[in-house]
Amino acid sequence: MGYHTGEQLRAARAMLGWEQGELAERANVSVKTIKRLEATNGRIEAHSEWSVVGALELGGIEFVGDHDWRDRNDGVRFVKDRTGKLRRKIIESTTGWLDVTLKIKTDKDPEFLERPTEDIVSAIIEEMREGIRKGVRDTLNRQNEG
């Protein structure tokens, strides 16, 4: 993720018509955190930046520019493909569950990936089904809240 500024966060939130409380809820951070980030002059250096930027992107905002806070040539705009970010979030969630499932399986059975292909596929799908369902449901619910 590139660098973002307090000005970009304020502008993005204003474009979406969100109050600070709504952004805080969607980003799963406190209103105090939103106020602090938006009051930052120049580059934001905070762990919560990822959550806030992610929530704004899911809302339909795209961060543009070189993301070099010294040049001050960055900005925000509405994204052309509004569903693209949501699709990527669902894919990330699914990929995460696949990684976790494979890690658990291979920790329990180091020779798991040496089994016949159909046995591996069946075992992975069986274990992942609920995790993927939950990940997609949670991602869609966060998008549709508000």
CA distance 73 to 2: 13
Which carries the bigger pLDDT value, residue 72 or residue 30?
Answer: 30
Query: To the nearest whole percent, how much of the chain has pLDDT over 90?
Result: 34
CA distance 133 to 94: 9
Tell me: the pLDDT tens digits for 12-23? 999 999 999 999
Q: Where are the domains of the chain?
A: 6-78, 82-144
Count of CB atoms situated within 10 Å of the CB of 140: 14
Tell me: the pLDDT tens digits for 98-115? 888 889 889 999 999 999
- Tokens representing 54 are 């992610």
CA distance 30 to 49: 12
Indicate the pLDDT class of residue 144, thresholds 50, 70 and 90: low
Go through the chain and tell me how many residues it has.
Answer: 146
CA distance 120 to 122: 6
> What is the model's pTM?
0.56
pLDDT of 3 above 80: no
Least confident of 32-46, 57-71, 95-109: 57-71
Fold adopted by 6-78: 434 Repressor (Amino-terminal Domain) (1.10.260)
- How large is the C-alpha radius of gyration of the chain? 19
Tell me: the pLDDT tens digits for 85-97? 778 778 877 788 7
